[in-house]
Chain A
Amino acid sequence: MTQENKKSKMKNGIAAAAMISSMIGVLSLSISHTLSVLSQESKMMIHEIGKAWIPGAEAIGPYSGKETIMLIGWGVSWIILHYVLRNRDVKLSYYTIVFMIGVGIAILLVWTPFVHLITNQT
């Protein structure tokens, strides 16, 4: 098999799905964190999600729910994107840029001074 054949045999959509789903996972985490800062009701609801399955979730608070939301966001989006993109050859550079921007936003959304700025908290 030639080098070019090896390259063209497998579509890169599967790689794009894996990359973008990991970004969705960290964005799910950071958005759930921002929501938990926004209101007490959200925080309690997120904690309930964690308490549903994580042992000792009572002691670690809403963090357990945020972990759960990250895993769900990551896992579900990976399954969906995998089946949507698996037979496609995509422009992976665009997906890489989207990944970088998404992870950058996720980092900002777990940085307390930025979260306080956008939620009007001092």
Chain B
Amino acid sequence: MSIPTHKKNLLKNSVIAAWVILTVFLGFVLGFSAPWQELMGDSPFSSLATIHGIFATLGVIFGSAAGYLGWRLLLGHLRAYRDLRILSTISSVLAVLAIVTGNWIYTAYRGPGGPREFFMSTFPEIHEVFFEFKEHISLFPLPIAIAATFILWKYKDAIPFDERLRNALGVMIATAWTVLMITFVLGAAITKLMAV
């Protein structure tokens, strides 16, 4: 026996409403009872570092979703062109925000008593190889993601019918995603050794 459409919609809306109410409730309980300050640390740069971390994490989430669609595009299997355009645009904005906030906390990284001083006196390779690589390669997604986003919007009607455009875009998105992941992993690893 099939369920009538209006009953299906009611069921779906009830599930969504319950999910939203439960999420908001748990969010409030956890949000207001958690010792966030302890988690963030007592550094004067902890808030900035947290904001940078949030943008970087969101960048990885949206960038990975865009990367997956980019891979489908490269293989010629993509149908969700609109989703890719939106995800690519959000990823580009997040790249800008992560770089700007990264500049802010770089001040703390290079400052007296900061991680750079610590690494140079203990494990100079951490700064000279890994951090230097991370700080420069972290800028790569900016021009590449913005250029890919521009092409996705400019040629939105042509892309489904033009394999060369799809190949170019697939390569650009894959490149941006790869350097984004390298940046994120190195950033997390270095923060684990010493945070700002």
Contacts and interface: CB of A to CB of B under 8 A. Distances in A.
Contact of A12 (B111, B140, B164): B164
Interface residues of B, number: 37
A46 interface: no
B189 interface: no
10 contacts: A12-B164, A12-B165, A14-B151, A19-B147, A30-B136, A63-B135, A67-B99, A78-B147, A92-B168, A103-B144
A60 B144 contact: no
A24 to B, nearest CB: 8
B46 interface: no
Contacts of A15: 151, 154-155, 165, 168
Interface residues on A, range: 35 or more
B168 A56 contact: no
B143 A9 contact: no
A27 B164 CA distance: 24
Given A61-B110, A113-B129, A92 B164 contact: yes
Interface in A74-109: 74, 78, 91-93, 95-96, 99-100, 103, 106-107
Interface of B: 99, 103-104, 106-107, 110-111, 128-129, 132-133, 135-137, 139-140, 142-144, 146-147, 150-151, 154-155, 157-158, 161-162, 164-165, 167-168, 171-172, 175, 179
Contacts of A6: 157-158, 161
B162 A7 contact: yes
- 9 smallest A-B Cβ distances: which pairs? A22-B143, A110-B136, A25-B143, A22-B147, A92-B164, A59-B107, A18-B147, A7-B161, A74-B143
Interface string A1-43: 0011011011010111011011001100110010000000000
A65 B47 CA distance: 26
B158 A9 contact: yes
Interface of A: 3-4, 6-7, 9-10, 12, 14-16, 18-19, 21-22, 25-26, 29-30, 33, 54, 56, 59-61, 63-64, 66-67, 70, 74, 78, 91-93, 95-96, 99-100, 103, 106-107, 110-113
Given A66-B136, A110-B137, A96 B157 contact: no
